[in-house]
Chains A and B, each alone.
Chain A
C-alpha cells in the first residue's frame, strides 16, 4: 500500500501520467474539437505547475529546464492549433508525445529507453496514418523509426561500447544526424496540425539529452566519423532546403542543417558538449515557432506551397512582423537564444580552433541565406488578387509572441541553466555502468 502511495505521489510519474491520461480522455472528446482543445490547454497549463513543483522537489536541475520547455512547447502547440484543421489527431498526439517525452526525460534507465522506443514507434505509425499517401519519403522515415526502435531495444541487451553506439544511432534519429535524419524530417513535414511544431522541440531535446548522457562513454574511434557525418549532414540539409517548395520540409531541412552543429561540437570537443543543450533547445524552439506560423498559414489557405504563397506582408502585417522576428531568431541574430547559445558553443570549443570550423561558418551563412529566402518567398511581392487574406487572430498572435519571448529569454538566461555538462547527473548513463 505504501509502495502504491509512493508511486502516486512520485512527481516524475505524475508528470508522465497526466498527459498520457489526458490523451486518453482526449480520444473521448474526438468529435468536439473545441472542448478537446480547452481540455488540453487546461492540462498543459496544470502540468507547468506540476513540473515546477516536481523539478524543485526532485532537485534534478539537469532535466528540469528541458521538461519545462517540452511542456511549454506542448502548451503553445495546442494553443495555436486551429480548432477545425485536423485538431483532434493533432491535440491527442501532442499530449501522447508529451507524456512519452517527459517519461523519457524523467524516468531514465531502461524505462527511459522504453519510453523513447514507444515514442519513435508511435511517430512511425502516425506518419503511416497521416502521410502515407502524400509522399514516398514517409516510408523511408518509417523505416528509420524502425531502425531507431531496434537499436534501442538491442541496446538494452547489449553492454559496453556496443550499447553506447546503438543508442547513439537511435538518438541520431531524434537529434537529426545524416543519414538518420529522416524521422525528424518526416515528423515535421507529414504530421497533422500544429503537432510538428511540438515535435520540432521534443525530438531534438530528447536527442541531445540522450547524446549528452552517453557522450562521456562514446568510443573515441567513432568521433571522426561523427565529425564527417555532421559536416556532410549540414551541407546536405542546406542543399535539400534550397530546393524545397513546401514550408514544412524547408524548415525541417534547415533544422537538420543547424542541428548538425552540436554533433560537430561533440566530435571536436571529444564528447564534452556542455553548451549543446542550450543551442539545441533554442534552435528547436525557433523551428517550432516557424512551423506554428506555417500552421496558421495552412489553416487559412489549405497548403504550404511556397510557389503559391507570396505577398503576405501587405495583407497580413501582424503575421509578417512576427514571422520576420522568428526568422531573425532562427538564423542566429543577436537578442535571441540561438545567437547566444551558438556563441557559447563556439567559444567553448575555441581553445584550439579546428579546421572544420570553416564548414560550420559556411553552414551558418547558408542558413542565413535560406531563411531570408524563405521569408522573402512568403512575405514579399505582390499579394495574389484571387485570395481572401486574413491576418492573425489574437490567439495566434499571442502564441507566436510567447514563442518569441521564449527565444528572447533564451538570449539572456544563464548558460548554466541548460548545461547538461555533468553526465553523471543524467539518467541514461546508469544503464552503461
Chain B
C-alpha cells in the first residue's frame, strides 16, 4: 500500500502535466481543473508517505534494471526515506499553493495550458529527483529540471529580456550539469556502482587518489574530487557564487514561477549534499570548500540585496544569501539544520513572492515618496529598548557561553557543532530583536518584554527544531556528530573565526542601532570615502556578470576571426 501511495505522489503531477500538454489547445483555461486536483492529491499522498516512512522505515521500489552486470549504472529505482519524504511534502505543498494561485493570476493568458503542463512536469521532476535511489537517476532528473526551468523562464518568449534571462539560466545550469556528470562518471569509474548505499560503502573503504595534473606529482583524494564536482552542480542549482548570476535576472518570469524557483528548485543543492551526506562526511576538504563558498555567497548575496531598488530583485538576492547560509551550514556538517533552513526559507520566500505582486500593484496605484523621518522622535534615542537590545543580543550570549564553559564545564572547544548551533540561534534571535527595535523603539516595558520573549522563543524553537530535525533525519546514533566532526576546523582557526565574526556582527549592530536613531559613529575619512566605491562595486554585482559576458563575447569573436581567416572553400 505504501508503495502505491508513494508511486501515486510521483505519477499524479506527471499524468496531469502530460494530459494538459497533449490536450492543452482543448483545455485552455480549464487546465487547472486537472493540474490542481492532481497536485493537491499528491500533497496528501506526500503527507501520508511521510507518516508511513517515519513509522515503518524507508521504501525502496525497483523500477528498471539493465540485466548485464557491465551496465549496472542504468538502474531506475525509488528510495524514499525521511529526507525524501520531507522534501516531497515541501515540494507538493509549495506546488499546490502555486497551482492554486495561478488559477486567476494567469487567466486569459495565451500560454495558460503550457504553464500548467510545465508546472506539473517540473513538480514530477523535482519529486523524482528527491526520490532517486542512485546517482544516475538523480542526474537524469537533475538535467530535466534544468530544461523545464528554462522552458518556464522562457514563458514570455516574445519578450527579449525574459528569453535572455532564460538562456543565461540554461547556460549556468548546464555548466553545473556537466560538472555533475563528471562527478558521476568518476564515481562509477572508481567505485563501479552508483547505488547510494553501495557507493557510500565503497567510498568509505577506498583510499584511491587521482593525479591533479599528469606528471605533476600532486594528488587529490578521489572522494574529494567526486564531491567537489558534484558540488559544482549543486552550486549552479542553488545559485552559489560565482554561479549565482542566473537567479537575479529571472524576474521577467510570471510570479508563480519565481515562487516555485525560490521555494523549490534552488533547494536542490542543499538536498543533494544531504542525500550524499555519508560521502561528504568522508572528505573534510570538500566540506571546508562548501563552507567558504556558502559563507561568501551569504555575505555577498545579502550585500547585493541591500543595493537593489526593485522588490523582486531584492527577494532574488535575498534567496542567494539564504542559499549561501544553507550551503554554509552543510559545510559545517550541520546537514539537518540546512534542511530545516531550506524548508523555512521555502515557505516564507514563496509567500513573499506570491504577495510581491500585490505590493507592487498597490504601490503603482498610490504613488508616493518614501516616508519622511519624524525628527523629534528620531534624534532622541529610547534608552530602555536600546539597552535591552544590546544586552540581549551581545551581553547575554557571552554570559551564557562563559557560564557553560566555566561553571558547567561544557567542553565547547571540542564541540564545534554545538557552538555552531548556538551561533546560528544567536544570529537569528538578534536579527529578530533588531527588527523589533526598528519597528517600535519607544520607552515601554511591553517592548522590552517582547524583545526578551522573542529571544527566548527564537532560541528555544531553533534549538528544539534543529535537535528534532537532526534526530528525525539522521536517527543513527552518532551519525550527525560524525558529520560535525568531519567538518571540524583547526581549533585555533575556529576560535579566531568565531571571535572575528562576533566582532563583525557586534560592530555591525552597533552601527545599525545608532544609525537607525539618526546618530553616526565617527569613522576615518578613507572609510567614508571608500563606502560609495564599495556600494558601486556591490551594486554592479561584483562585475561577475560583466566578466562572463565578456568571456562569451570573446569566444564569439574568436570564432568569427577563425571563420574569416579560413579560405572560403574550406568547410
Residues of A within 8 A of B (CB): 135-137, 139-141, 144, 181-182, 185-186, 239-240, 242-243, 311, 313-314, 324, 328, 333-335, 340, 343-344, 346-348, 350-353, 355, 357-358, 361-362, 364-365, 368-369, 372-373, 376, 379-383, 415
Question: Once the chains are docked, how many angstroms separate the CA of A334 from the CA of B150?
Answer: 15
Query: Given A364-B178, A365-B175, A381-B160, 13 other A-B contacts at CB below 8 A?
Result: A137-B571, A140-B571, A141-B571, A239-B559, A242-B555, A243-B560, A324-B151, A333-B144, A333-B147, A340-B74, A346-B181, A379-B157, A380-B158
Q: Is B163 an interface residue (CB 8 A)?
A: yes
Report whether B150 and A372 are in contact in the complex, using a CB–CB cutoff of 8 Å. yes
Chain A, residue nearest B211 (CB): A355
- 27 chain-A/chain-B pairs, Cβ below 8 angstroms: A137-B570, A139-B569, A141-B571, A186-B571, A239-B555, A239-B558, A239-B559, A240-B559, A240-B562, A240-B563, A243-B563, A313-B157, A313-B158, A333-B147, A335-B144, A343-B136, A347-B73, A348-B70, A353-B186, A361-B182, A362-B178, A364-B181, A368-B170, A369-B174, A372-B150, A372-B167, A380-B154
Cβ-defined partner of A376 (8 Å) among B140, B167, B182, B560:
B167
Query: Contact mask B134-166 → A, CB, 8 Å, 1/0?
Result: 001000110110010011001001101001000
Q: Which residues does chain A contribute within 8 Å of B178, judged by CB atoms? A: 361-362, 364-365
B558, B559, B560, B562 interface centre (most CB from chain A within 10 Å): B559
Q: Is B568 an interface residue (CB 8 A)?
A: yes
Q: Which residues does chain A contribute within 8 Å of B418, judged by CB atoms? A: none
Report whether B571 and A185 are in contact in the complex, using a CB–CB cutoff of 8 Å. yes
Question: Once the chains are docked, how many angstroms separate the CA of A306 from the CA of B559?
Answer: 17
A239, A240, A358, A364 interface centre (most CB from chain B within 10 Å): A239
Q: Which residues does chain B contribute within 8 Å of A242, judged by CB atoms? A: 555-556, 559
Report the minimal beta-carbon distance from A423 to chain B, rounded to whole angstroms.
18
Chain A, residue nearest B555 (CB): A242
Question: Once the chains are docked, how many angstroms separate the CA of A311 from the CA of B71?
Answer: 43
Chain A, residue nearest B562 (CB): A239
Q: Given contacts A343-B73, A350-B188, A357-B185, are A372 and B559 in contact (CB under 8 A)?
A: no
- Which 3 A-B pairs have CB atoms at the shortest separation, nearest pair first? A182-B571, A140-B569, A350-B189
Report whether A137 and B568 are in contact in the complex, using a CB–CB cutoff of 8 Å. yes
Q: Which residues does chain B contribute within 8 Å of A373, judged by CB atoms? A: 167
Q: Which residues does chain B contribute within 8 Å of A343, judged by CB atoms? A: 73-74, 136
Question: Once the chains are docked, how many angstroms separate the CA of A181 from the CA of B570?
Answer: 10
Cβ-defined partner of A355 (8 Å) among B154, B214, B556, B568:
B214
**Chain B positions 526-571 with a Cβ under 8 Å from a chain A Cβ:** 555-556, 558-560, 562-563, 568-571
Chain A, residue nearest B560 (CB): A243
| Chain B interface mostly | helix
Question: Once the chains are docked, how many angstroms separate the CA of A350 from the CA of B178?
Answer: 16
Give the contact-size bracket for chain B: 35 or more
Report the minimal beta-carbon distance from B127 to chain A, rounded to whole angstroms.
15
Q: Is B420 an interface residue (CB 8 A)?
A: no
**Chain B positions 200-233 with a Cβ under 8 Å from a chain A Cβ:** 214
Q: Which residues does chain B contribute within 8 Å of A340, judged by CB atoms? A: 74
Report whether A333 and B143 are in contact in the complex, using a CB–CB cutoff of 8 Å. yes
Q: Given contacts A361-B182, A369-B174, A415-B71, are A140 and B559 in contact (CB under 8 A)?
A: no
Report the minimal beta-carbon distance from A94 to chain B, rounded to whole angstroms.
22
Report the minimal beta-carbon distance from A326 to chain B, rounded to whole angstroms.
13
Report whether A350 and B167 are in contact in the complex, using a CB–CB cutoff of 8 Å. no
Q: Which residues does chain B contribute within 8 Å of A240, judged by CB atoms? A: 559, 562-563
Q: Which residues does chain B contribute within 8 Å of A333, judged by CB atoms? A: 143-144, 147
Report the minimal beta-carbon distance from B324 to chain A, rounded to whole angstroms.
25
Q: Is B427 an interface residue (CB 8 A)?
A: no
Cβ-defined partner of A334 (8 Å) among B140, B158, B170, B555:
B140
Report the minimal beta-carbon distance from B126 to chain A, rounded to whole angstroms.
15
Report whether B163 and A381 are in contact in the complex, using a CB–CB cutoff of 8 Å. yes
Question: Once the chains are docked, how many angstroms separate the CA of A333 from the CA of B177?
Answer: 11
**Chain B positions 326-343 with a Cβ under 8 Å from a chain A Cβ:** none
Question: Once the chains are docked, how many angstroms separate the CA of A361 from the CA of B174?
Answer: 11
B160, B189, B556 interface centre (most CB from chain A within 10 Å): B189
Q: Given contacts A181-B571, A243-B563, A344-B71, are A351 and B189 in contact (CB under 8 A)?
A: yes
Report whether A368 and B174 are in contact in the complex, using a CB–CB cutoff of 8 Å. yes
Question: Once the chains are docked, how many angstroms separate the CA of A242 from the CA of B552?
Answer: 11
Question: Once the chains are docked, how many angstroms separate the CA of A314 from the CA of B156?
Answer: 11
Report the minimal beta-carbon distance from A364 to chain B, rounded to whole angstroms.
6
Question: Once the chains are docked, how many angstroms separate the CA of A191 from the CA of B186?
Answer: 43
Q: Which residues does chain A contribute within 8 Å of B7, judged by CB atoms? A: none
Chain A, residue nearest B160 (CB): A381
Report whether B189 and A352 are in contact in the complex, using a CB–CB cutoff of 8 Å. yes
Q: Is B41 an interface residue (CB 8 A)?
A: no
Report the minimal beta-carbon distance from A422 to chain B, rounded to whole angstroms.
15
Q: Given contacts A347-B188, A361-B181, are A137 and B555 in contact (CB under 8 A)?
A: no
Q: Which residues does chain B contribute within 8 Å of A135, judged by CB atoms? A: 568
Question: Once the chains are docked, how many angstroms separate the CA of A376 from the CA of B174?
Answer: 16
Q: Is B512 an interface residue (CB 8 A)?
A: no
Question: Once the chains are docked, how many angstroms separate the CA of A181 from the CA of B74?
Answer: 33
Question: Once the chains are docked, how many angstroms separate the CA of A362 from the CA of B562?
Answer: 19
Report whether A243 and B559 are in contact in the complex, using a CB–CB cutoff of 8 Å. yes
Chain A, residue nearest B70 (CB): A348
Q: Which residues does chain A contribute within 8 Å of B188, judged by CB atoms? A: 347, 350
Report the minimal beta-carbon distance from B436 to chain A, rounded to whole angstroms.
48
Report the minimal beta-carbon distance from A316 to chain B, rounded to whole angstroms.
13
Q: Which residues does chain B contribute within 8 Å of A328, judged by CB atoms? A: 147
Report the minimal beta-carbon distance from B444 to chain A, rounded to whole angstroms.
58
Chain B, residue nearest A335 (CB): B144
Q: Is B171 an interface residue (CB 8 A)?
A: yes
Report the minimal beta-carbon distance from A307 to chain B, rounded to whole angstroms.
14
**Chain B positions 440-456 with a Cβ under 8 Å from a chain A Cβ:** none
Report whether B556 and A353 are in contact in the complex, using a CB–CB cutoff of 8 Å. no
Q: Which residues does chain B contribute within 8 Å of A182, judged by CB atoms? A: 570-571
Chain B, residue nearest A347 (CB): B73
Q: Which residues does chain A contribute within 8 Å of B160, judged by CB atoms? A: 381
